[in-house]
Amino acid sequence: MRILIADDEYLARSSLKSMLEELNLPLDYVGEAANGEEMLAAVRQHLPDVAFVDIRMPRLNGLEAIRRARTVSPCTRWFILTGFPEFEYAQEAIRLGVSTYLLKPVNPEELSRVLQDFIEDHRKQIQTQNRQFERELVALAYGLTSFDLETQDSSIGRFHYLGAAIYIDSHLPETIKAERQTRFCRLLREHLDRHLDLHNRLALFVAPGGELTTTGAWEPRPGSPAKQRVLAYLQAVEQEAQTAADGDLVVTLLTSRACPSYPAYQEQLEQLHKLAPLRLLCGVGKKLELTQLTQEAGLPGAAEISAALLALSRSYQERSYLGYMNAHAGHDRTGLEKTLRTVRKADFRRWSTAMAEFLRRAIHFQAPAPEGDLDGAKAWIQALHNHGERLLSEIPREEIPGADIVNQVVALIDQNYTRDISIGQLAEQLNITPNYLSTLFHKKTGSTFLTYLKRKRLLKAKELLADPNRPVHEVAEQVGYVSVRHFARLFAEQFGCLPSEFRDRFKSPSSAKDSG
């Protein structure tokens, strides 16, 4: 927390600063002021969390300086430094939101007690604000509300944004991958807590597509270190990703650019998710920016090779020999074999190192060594074919009861669709990774998790609206929607009428009969 001291006596400032440094608390001394005008300038520059202010200062007294500074830094906590006779100012100080008085000379024990109490309140306030922010992001991601309808009720609109989609590739059994991902998320959450302050927000959750997403947001205020703390957090995420990687598992960060609004940031996240397969050609285990992925996407064969490699790895992990060979050979002009034969040799040579890194982690594949002037793609095609033939028959199969898992997910959705439910929560209950569950659910049901969940909620809403006396806002809440307006829009898109219009059909026997 950032500390500012404003007192016209040098010895008083020096003494208080010395006592603060001896308390061994998480404080950052950001400056001092010898009068009220200097204090205002320091507040504008540093946006302190705590300011110790002497009442009697030249040019501008302490209370007037606080009154003006509150408009610049409304989150600052003000502590008055005063002599006993000046308690006549107590009423005005309380009106200004002053936290407490400290009598001169300041008692170290009293100073410690006041700051310990403040630190605890400060921490709780920051955590409460951040939990609300994360809940709002999850609600937006899972379609429970929409930005254009909720900006006036939310703090989300006042931030700038930066973040990353996190992809984990590994050939390990699902249960082990899930354990390692859980451990990785726990470490990220610890970094997240350490980098919070009142002027930034940080979030970590599983997106509907199964990938981890982490988001940093900050208020664009001059002098605020909030953006630097977001950047420091994302750097810590990158370091943890590198530490988590080994020969069996690799973590790749796909990072957005800094965005001035949430809609712009959400658009970049969607682009990252769409281009995510290209990490296989850019290099897994790195931090990749959107511009890098976009450039790679423009090269001939890049999208097709990435998609084929992902399909091949998924089939291998599911021990589906037919799926593996279809991804390898394909049909018509699809499949890895046909695509590799058409790419430029220069591109293949550049991609082959990145492909080898991915396949080593994803299917335990050892890429063939270069063979002089021979076409490297031919050697890869044969080696991948042999790998599928050999490993799919030799390695003991991991039991992955896909249909049973999806049936369990459907049952859990039926039981919990009225609550905040995400694919990450369900994957954790089933001890598998969210990415695998997302892929499996889509494969078995033909629908994404989010589409299935939305349809379940809206069908239940239709059932509840058959009661003509039930308010629409109550129905929206009962089926899990945060925003009534967003619920009404989704209902109209799905069924061609507003919830209130559908409900009104049941207000009389004749209208009920007409509605069928």
CATH number of the domain residue 71 falls in: 3.40.50.2300
Contacts of 358 (CB under 8 A, 6+ apart): 169, 250, 279, 280, 284, 309, 313
Report the residue count for the chain. 516
Domain shared by 41 and 95, yes or no: yes
- Give the span between the Cα atoms of 136 and 161, in whole angstroms: 14
Say if residue 242's pLDDT is above 90.
Answer: yes
Nearest one of 96, 99, 35, 29 to 66, comparing CA atoms: 96
Supply the pLDDT for residue 270.
Answer: 95
- Tokens 């290209």 correspond to what residue? 278
In a domain? residue 212: yes
Q: What is the pLDDT of residues 424-444, one digit of tens each?
A: 988 888 888 999 889 888 888
Q: Determine which of 50-54, 323-327, 398-402, 501-505 has the lowest per-residue pLDDT on average.
A: 398-402
Contact 210, 443 (CB under 8 A): no
Supply the pLDDT for residue 391.
Answer: 66
Last residue of a domain, one of 238, 267, 298: 298
Q: What is the mean pLDDT of residues 12-24?
A: 86
User: Which domain CATH number covers 449?
Assistant: 1.10.10.60
Contact 475, 499 (CB under 8 A): yes
Question: Which residue segment(s) compose the domain that 478 sits in?
Answer: 402-515
Domain count, the chain: 4
Last residue of a domain, one of 269, 298, 327: 298
Q: What is the pLDDT of residues 448-487, one digit of tens each?
A: 998 999 999 999 999 999 888 889 999 999 998 888 888 9
Domain shared by 276 and 154, yes or no: yes
Domain shared by 377 and 337, yes or no: yes
Domain shared by 459 and 323, yes or no: no
In a domain? residue 119: no
- Give the span between the Cα atoms of 459 and 465, in whole angstroms: 10
Supply the pLDDT for residue 92.
Answer: 58
In a domain? residue 494: yes
Supply the pLDDT for residue 269.
Answer: 95
Domain shared by 382 and 335, yes or no: yes
**CA of residue 491 relative to chain centroid, distance:** 28
Say if residue 515's pLDDT is above 60.
Answer: no
Supply the pLDDT for residue 390.
Answer: 78
In a domain? residue 116: no
Domain shared by 183 and 286, yes or no: yes
In a domain? residue 120: no
- Give the span between the Cα atoms of 500 and 104, in whole angstroms: 65
Q: What is the pLDDT of residues 264-299, one digit of tens each?
A: 999 999 999 999 999 999 999 999 999 999 999 999
What does 148-197 look like in DSSP terms, one character per residue?
Answer: HHHGGG-SGGG-EEEEEEEEEEE-S-HHHHHHHHHHHHHHHHHHHHHT--
In a domain? residue 238: yes
Structure tokens at 374: 């021979």
Contacts of 120 (CB under 8 A, 6+ apart): none
Which has more pLDDT, 390 or 214? 214
Domain shared by 314 and 452, yes or no: no
User: Which domain CATH number covers 136?
Assistant: 3.30.70.1130
Q: What is the mean pLDDT of residues 364-375?
A: 68
Last residue of a domain, one of 298, 331, 364: 298
Domain shared by 161 and 179, yes or no: yes
In a domain? residue 329: yes
H helices present in 283-417, as ranges: 290-297, 302-317, 321-329, 336-340, 345-363, 376-394, 402-416
Q: What is the pLDDT of residues 245-259, one digit of tens each?
A: 998 999 999 999 999
Domain shared by 136 and 161, yes or no: yes
Rounded (to 5) percent helix, strand, coil in the chain: 60, 10, 30
Nearest one of 263, 223, 247 to 47, comparing CA atoms: 223
Domain shared by 276 and 156, yes or no: yes
- Give the span between the Cα atoms of 507 and 405, in whole angstroms: 42
Structure tokens at 497: 């009428």
In a domain? residue 178: yes
Domain shared by 309 and 355, yes or no: yes
Supply the pLDDT for residue 514.
Answer: 45
Domain shared by 410 and 391, yes or no: no
Supply the pLDDT for residue 119.
Answer: 86
Supply the pLDDT for residue 22.
Answer: 85
